Each structure stands twice: as structure tokens, then as C-alpha cells.
Amino acid sequence: MLEDLRIGDAYDGFLFLAESVRNPPVLRPHRHVELELNLVVRGEVIYVHEGQSYRFPKGSLLWFFPSQVHQLIDRTTDAAYYVAVFTPRLLESACRGDCYLPLRGSEFSTPGILHTELKPEDFDKLRTHMEQLVEEGLDPDILNREAGFGLSEGFRFAHNDPDWLNAGLRQLLLAAWRAQLGHKGSGRKVELHPAVQYTLERMQQTGVKDDLESLAKVAEVSPSYLSRRFRREIGVSLSRYRNSIRLGRFWESYRLSGGCSILDAALAAGFGSYAQFYRVYKEAYGKGPRQSLT
């Protein structure tokens, strides 16, 4: 649950643009010692935190404090969002004024995911600043393939000019917080039914039956009730979420196996056949696995 983001000593954080069409889904609940900031620049993303689901459209600015366990649930196929993280070292040196002190805490005073939908002028300023910072970073395909913090053994974030990036991250942090101050959340959150919450937790486990009937039986509700409630509260169908979980497992298996075939990794991830895996993969990334993996 506590993720090591593998940030080298030369860096006070990192920044990259996550894009659905090339960013493998990492849907497990997690937290990290770094403060995280997301800016949605296209499409929509869905997170779950403390039994509530949140939908964030374009223009949303959202924060995850170090003690907050959060889980990406889904995103539209066109979604793109900047992910920035800031180390405790940066927070300690940059956040000295009274208005910035909340950024040094492990959690925010108000429960839930702190967020706002930015004014167009604030959104444009932050997006432009982020675009400039990532220009000299690693290739976007690499960053997306590594899901930001590295699924492959030995991966480390890098930038052509760490000092310039660090200075930019400091400015980004303060500018984003100034844009956040005085704003309240948009209210795009839904309280999860216990059966839905339990289903999310159970589907994270490996080796369990994840078909609708089995999940509903364990949650002690009818399959039709669980299906309706899941879609209404999470925002996507249970089958779509299950496929995303399996895609995430496929990527972990394929990268870390050291020679595992695409078919073997797909079957290990829970797909029933190559045809099923191919359909889900192409729907997520716009092309077949052999086209993008070879």
C-alpha cells in the first residue's frame, strides 16, 4: 500500500503527463510519503478514497496528501492528466508562509480528496508551466509505460536539467496552491454502498472468482443489484473495471517475468482467452498487443 516512487537524490519530485492510450492501468489502493498533485487536461478520471468515489473532469486540480490511501478506478479513453509529486524535502524548504503550511502535513484538515475546478485562466497557466517542465524530461512513452514511478526493475525518473526541474516544481507547487485557496470541491463525489466497497477490495485480490455472480454472492446481494449499484456509484460497469484490473496485472506479469509470452501473461492476468485479451487491449490502447509490444 505504501509505494516507493523511486525518486533519485537529485530530484525534489517528478512530473509527467499520463495518457489513457499509452499509460497502463495501476488500480491498486496506495499512498506515498510524497504530496501528489493531478491536473486533468482532457477527458475525465475517477478515484476512490475512504469509501467515496470522485469524478474529475477537464480543468480539475486535485491533491493527495501522504496519509491518504487513494485508488484510480477508471478514466475515459481520451483522458490525459499531469501527475506531479513533491518530496518532503521540497515541502519543508518551500512551504514556510502560513498559507502554505497545510502542504507540509500528512493530511488535509477537511476529509476527502481536496480538489477544485479551476478558472480558465488559472488552468491555462498551470498547464503551460507543466508543459514547459516536461519538455526536457524522459520520452513520454517511457514515462507512461512505467506508470510514473516504475514497474520495471531498475527504472528511475530522469530529466536533462534536474536543477531547473526542481525550481519549476517549487514554483508549480506554490502556484497550484494559490489557485486552490478559497475554492471548495465541486461536490462530484458519491458515498459507496458497503457491497460496492467490498467488491472493489475483493477484486484487488488474486486468485478469487471475479465473475458477477460470485462477487454478488460473497457481498450478500443479488447480481443485478450489485451490477446496477456498481455502475451508478463507480461510474463504469463492473466488467469494465474487471478488465482494467486484468490489464494492470498483465503489464506487471509481462514486464517482470523476463521472457513470458503475451499469451501466458494474459492468461496469468485472468483473461479467459487470447481473443478476449486482444479485444480489451485494443479497446484500451487503440491497437493490438503485437503491434505495440513488438
| Averaged pLDDT, 67-91 | 95
How many of the other CB atoms lie within 10 Å of CB of 198? 17
Report the alpha-carbon angle 157-159-163, nearest 5: 115
- For 122-139, write each residue's pLDDT tens digit: 999 999 999 999 999 988
- For 2-55, write each residue's pLDDT tens digit: 888 889 999 999 999 999 988 877 788 899 999 999 999 999 999 999 999 999
CATH number, span 13-189: 2.60.120.280
State residue 109's pLDDT score.
81
Q: Where in the chain is the domain with CATH 2.60.120.280?
A: 13-189
- For 268-291, write each residue's pLDDT tens digit: 889 999 999 999 988 888 888 887
User: What is the percent of the chain where pLDDT is above 90?
Assistant: 63
State residue 147's pLDDT score.
67
Radius of gyration of the chain (CA): 19
Q: Give the C-alpha separation, 222 to 69, whole Å.
A: 29
Q: Residue 149: exposed, middle, or buried by beta-carbon count in 10 A (0-12, 13-18, 19+)?
A: buried
Average pLDDT, the chain: 90
Q: Where in the chain is the domain with CATH 1.10.10.60?
A: 192-293
| Averaged pLDDT, 61-75 | 94
CA-CA-CA-CA torsion sign (24, 54, 204, 4): positive
Task: Tell me the pTM.
Answer: 0.89
pLDDT > 70? residue 89: yes
Residue 132 grid coordinates: 514547459
DSSP labels, the chain: -B------TT-SEEEEEEETTTS----S-BB-SSEEEEEEEESEEEEEETTEEEEEETTEEEEE-TT--BEEEEE-TT-EEEEEEE-HHHHHHH--SGGGGGGGSSS-SSSS-EEEE--HHHHHHHHHHHHHHHTTBS-HHHHHHTTTT-SSTT----BS-HHHHHHHHHHHHHHHHHHHTT------EEEPPHHHHHHHHHHTSTTS--SHHHHHHHHTS-HHHHHHHHHHHHSS-HHHHHHHHHHHHHHHHHHHSSS--HHHHHHHTT-S-HHHHHHHHHHHHSS-HHHHH-
| Domain 192-293 listed as CATH 2.30.40.10 | no
